Amino acid sequence: MNNFNELPLENQLKNSLKFADFKTPTPIQSQSIPISLTGKDILGTAQTGTGKTLAFTVPMINKLIKDKNAMALIICPTRELASQVMQTVTKLNSKEININSALLIGGESMQKQLRQLTKRTRIIVGTPGRINDHIERKSLKLYKVTYLVLDETDRMLDMGFTPQIELILKHIPKSHQTLLFSATLPNDILKISEKYLKNPERISIGSVSTPIEKIKQETFQITPDKKYHELINQLVERSGSILVFVKTKHGADKIVKRLKYDGHSADAIHGNLRQSKRDRVIRGFRSGKSRILVATDVAARGLDIPLIQHVINYDLPQVPEDYIHRIGRTGRAGKEGSAMTFLTNHDFSMWRSIQKLIDPDFKLKEQVKNPSNKKNKKFKGKFKKNKSKKKFKSKDNRDHKNKRFKSREDFSQKDRKFRSKDNQDKKGEGFKSKDNQEQNNKKFKFKKKFKNRKRPKNFTFKSKRNKKRD
């Protein structure tokens, strides 16, 4: 299929596809759209950036045009991904179609969402937590839902949304069409598909665990204290927008503060930001106002920005699958991209697991950039020489030192033997006999004992004068 016009779609939808400049479908779209138009369930997997969003929004709108009473529900793991899906829906939902929709995500005004739901909304896009909030408030009723989409399901399971998804599915009628899309396919997703999908059509485009071929991947071995300086070098060398991934929210804010101090236009995005702030940061990054976006794994999915030319993994992800989603932010829609990963000595175990995920027959190769190899080798050589000097000492030197020490002892003993009695008298108590010294020690010990012994609180010493008076 070379064109969307070849699909059995409604004319209104074909016009909106032309207006939105969607011409040639991607492989996942050309395979999944014809099947979903027939009403079958789909279990679809494809690499990030291959157009999964359009693969389920096109048949959804086509179905809602035909059936005026039907509703559609799209569940996403993050606010960013939900907002991204909503943008695609609004592109296709032209004035001719005019289907009311609502975006239900955390961090936005509940009153605004309640107003949207009162307008007979038929397209609901949201995250599991906020959808459940509206179900509990009884502001959202799902008994008319006939089209269900679970987008990025593997991420939702990783984030612990399984109980909330099950609560939502209880309010949906049994006779509905389900489309489950994911970038990876762990065993948990297969269990969910067996439970909630009815004879699904399995669609897989490319390898699930390998990134897009057009992304150039590089690694750089470095020590933790030199990471920031190397990041500055990479930012200077590269042109275009750059997405930097870090582990923690605090780390993202800290790096942005340093980058701004060094004269770079940068912003941070992470879970602690309000939705309005997140949207403002993403808009600034899209428009080119800020060239660098420092993000946690929140932004690893849902950011569909064609301008991202470079991804830098300042820190490795917690889960190997997130590496694929991180670098999948670049090289989208058939464009080229590059991904640089900083590796410290503590990262090699995680890096091995990432490489095994990408290539099960992987054997760790030393293809890592390390410009300081020569210096390290020189340093190591010197260090070994010093060690050898310490370790391998000749016995003659040791014996020589022992002899010197013994000779001093002998000299002192001889000196004591042959001292004259006159000298002893002159010095007085300097050279007393051992018996006298022992007696003094005993007296001293006795005094200590006397001082330290316990007495009653009201005890006082009686002087000799008081005794005489008595």
What are the boundaries of each domain within the chain? Answer: 4-205, 215-370
Q: What residues contact 39, with CB distance under 8 A and at least 6 apart?
A: 177
What's the CA gap between 147 and 176, in Å, rounded? Answer: 6
Residue 121: per-residue pLDDT: 94
Indicate if the pLDDT at residue 48 is higher than 80: no
Cα-Cα-Cα-Cα dihedral of 211, 217, 347, 377, to 10°?
Answer: 160
Contact call for residues 31 and 106 (beta carbons, < 8 A): no
Structure tokens at 22: 């969607």
Distance, C-alpha 178 to centroid of its chain: 31
Residue 32: Cβ within 10 Å count: 27
4-205 with 215-370: one CATH topology?
A: yes
What's the CA gap between 296 and 271, in Å, rounded? Answer: 8
Q: Give the domain 4-205 fold.
A: Rossmann fold (3.40.50)
What's the CA gap between 266 and 281, in Å, rounded? Answer: 10
Q: What residues contact 430, with CB distance under 8 A and at least 6 apart?
A: 424
What does the pLDDT look like over 53-86, one tens digit per residue?
Answer: 899 999 999 999 999 999 999 999 888 889 889 9
Q: Calculate mean pLDDT across residues 122-150.
A: 94
Q: Calculate mean pLDDT across residues 100-126.
A: 92
- Give SS3 for 241: strand
Domain 215-370 CATH class label: alpha beta
Q: Calculate mean pLDDT across residues 281-301.
A: 83
Tell me the C-alpha to C-alpha distance, in Å, between residue 290 and each of 63, 67, 283: 40, 44, 9
Structure tokens at 143: 């008994």
What's the CA gap between 14 and 61, in Å, rounded? Answer: 11
Residue 170: per-residue pLDDT: 92
Kind plus residue range of the DSSP H or E element containing 126? strand 123-126
Residue 125: Cβ within 10 Å count: 27
Mean pLDDT over all residues of the chain? 78
What's the CA gap between 439 and 108, in Å, rounded? Answer: 90
* Share of residues in the chain with pLDDT > 90 (%): 38
C-alpha closest to that of 100 among 117, 113, 84, 83: 117
What's the CA gap between 153 and 183, in Å, rounded? Answer: 8
C-alpha closest to that of 96 among 15, 195, 194, 199: 15
What's the CA gap between 363 and 88, in Å, rounded? Answer: 41
Q: Calculate mean pLDDT across residues 423-430.
A: 48
What's the CA gap between 375 and 378, in Å, rounded? Answer: 5
Q: Calculate mean pLDDT across residues 313-329.
A: 85
Phi-psi region of 61 (alpha: psi -120 to 50; beta: other; left: phi over 0): alpha
Antiparallel, parallel or unpaired: β 101-104 and 42-46? unpaired
Contact call for residues 310 and 337 (beta carbons, < 8 A): yes
Query: Which of the listed ranges 22-26, 203-207, 399-403 does the model predict with the highest average pLDDT?
Result: 22-26
Environment class of 123 (CB within 10 Å of its CB; exposed 0-12, middle 13-18, buried 19+): buried
* Least confident interval from 254-268, 370-384, 424-438, 449-463: 370-384
DSSP state of 351: H
Q: How confident is the model at residue 461 (pLDDT cuts 50, 70, 90)?
A: low
What's the CA gap between 144 and 142, in Å, rounded? Answer: 5
Kind plus residue range of the DSSP H or E element containing 421? helix 421-427
What's the CA gap between 77 and 171, in Å, rounded? Answer: 19
